[in-house]
């Protein structure tokens, strides 16, 4: 079956279904709203301008929480990783040519906002994103492959070209150059997210080989299989703490109107197919690919939790600490980078999805204040990665605001 999906996704993906229906999730009691028909509204191009954070402006958390600048003056910080010894790594990369292409290290933040150590941990990379340590090996996912470096706990700098253990298709549509990595509980497998190279396969399926997938490999890069397919741009990945199932946050397609297609977070079934590019949110056929692959459309899995269309839902982490109030225990937090393909802006915030016994509830706002005004082109920054630290606090990477925010509970 895995081999079949690998062949299918090397140049395929989905089609079929009515334009409107009520969608319910098999793993969630939440009733999904009807989806509008494609092109119910025109496709918008409404891009935001980042003003940056000045003075005492900062994001807003619910009552009982405190927000501080963990680190500022950065260069497009995208992803965060906490090392076994507590060091914090931040990968810096962007779509622009002046991408920093490095990883920063922060050690022991002091009460005055400074650090015992702040340095470049690794440089000369090719759009780095996901990071991982297994034993004495440091992994980084560049846009063109997964690389390894010898690592000893406490190292503050790595050097050399590294060893490429897995070649990946580089770049992608919009910001789909990001490659995330996550290990399972016993470190026997690594999961690699690879976004699509197009919006809906408009460059041909030959351009989508091994894309729009979550791949599974051995720690040495061998044994690649497609763990799940049809995921247009899966970015955040995390393990749900009760069921121990893999979850991902997915940035869905553009061009069908203001309220299509919903981004989502979902449990990821092995050998599952989630519809891209032929269908969306179950068996809703994309009209641009009508009739091209009805067999795959019929197999499309309905995602668990819709997160709003064009919100650019990217970061994902589950709260397993005890510092936050009890309602947040076991819940998921998602960073929404914000819309460009919508007449009125959405996203630009961190949302919380409560979980009960491993089942998701209704999303609610958690960290807001990124939008500067009602002018859709004015935002202070855009959240991406969510990372919970061992001390129970939350870090949020704000890439265009060039800031890492830390949220603690009072």
pLDDT tens by residue, the chain, 410 residues: 444 344 344 433 333 333 333 333 333 333 344 899 999 999 999 999 999 999 889 999 999 999 999 999 999 999 999 999 999 999 999 987 689 999 999 998 776 767 889 999 999 999 999 999 999 999 999 999 999 999 999 999 998 889 999 999 998 888 899 999 999 999 999 999 999 999 999 999 999 999 999 999 999 999 999 999 999 999 999 999 999 999 999 999 999 999 999 999 999 999 999 999 999 999 999 999 999 999 999 999 999 999 999 999 999 999 999 999 999 999 999 999 999 999 999 999 999 999 999 999 999 999 999 999 756 689 999 999 999 999 999 999 999 999 999 999 98
Nearest-CA neighbor of 121 among 74, 155, 85? 155
Query: CA-to-CA distance for 368 and 385, rounded, in angstroms?
Result: 15
> Cα(215)–Cα(221) distance, rounded to whole angstroms?
11
CB-based contact 202:245 (threshold 8 Å): no
Per the DSSP assignment, residues forming a β-bridge with 379 are: 50, 371
pTM of the model: 0.91
What is the dihedral angle through the alpha carbons of 382, 262, 346, 311, rounded to the nearest 10 degrees?
10
């Amino acid at each position: 079956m895995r081999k079949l999906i690998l062949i299918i996704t090397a140049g395929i993906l989905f089609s079929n279904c009515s334009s409107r229906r009520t969608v319910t999730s098999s793993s969630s009691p939440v009733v999904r709203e009807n989806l509008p028909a494609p092109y119910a509204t025109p496709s918008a191009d409404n891009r935001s301008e980042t003003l940056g954070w000045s003075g005492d402006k900062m994001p807003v958390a619910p009552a009982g929480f405190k927000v501080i600048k963990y680190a500022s003056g950065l260069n497009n910080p995208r992803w965060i990783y906490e090392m076994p010894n507590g060091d914090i790594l931040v990968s810096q990369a962007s779509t622009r040519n002046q991408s920093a292409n490095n990883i920063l290290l922060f050690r022991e933040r002091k009460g005055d906002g400074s650090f015992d150590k702040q340095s470049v941990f690794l440089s000369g990379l090719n759009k780095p994103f996901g990071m991982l340590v297994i034993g004495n090996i440091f992994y980084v996912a560049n846009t063109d492959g997964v690389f390894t470096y010898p690592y000893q706990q406490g190292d503050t700098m790595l050097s050399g070209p590294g060893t490429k253990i897995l070649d990946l298709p580089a770049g992608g549509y919009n910001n789909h150059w990001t490659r995330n990595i996550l290990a399972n509980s016993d470190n026997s497998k690594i999961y690699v997210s690879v976004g699509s190279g197009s919006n809906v396969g408009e460059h041909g399926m030959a351009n989508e080989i091994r894309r729009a997938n979550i791949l599974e490999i051995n720690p040495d890069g061998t044994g690649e299989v497609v763990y799940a397919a049809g995921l247009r741009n899966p970015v955040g990945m995390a393990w749900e703490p009760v069921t121990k199932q893999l979850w991902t946050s997915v940035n869905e397609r553009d061009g069908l109107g203001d309220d299509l297609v919903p981004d989502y977070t979902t449990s990821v079934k092995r050998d599952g197919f989630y519809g891209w590019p032929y269908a969306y949110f179950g068996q809703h056929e994309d009209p641009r690919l009508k009739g091209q692959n009805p067999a795959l459309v019929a197999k499309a899995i309905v995602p668990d939790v819709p997160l709003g269309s064009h919100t650019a839902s990217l970061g994902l982490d589950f709260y397993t600490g005890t510092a936050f109030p009890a309602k947040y225990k076991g819940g998921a937090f998602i960073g929404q980078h914000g819309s460009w393909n919508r007449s009125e802006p959405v996203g630009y915030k961190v949302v919380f999805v409560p979980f009960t016994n491993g089942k998701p509830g209704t999303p609610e706002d958690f960290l807001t204040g990124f939008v500067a005004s009602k002018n859709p082109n004015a935002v202070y920054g855009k959240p991406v990665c969510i990372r919970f630290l061992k001390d129970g606090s939350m870090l949020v990477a704000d890439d265009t605001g060039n800031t890492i925010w830390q949220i603690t509970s009072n």
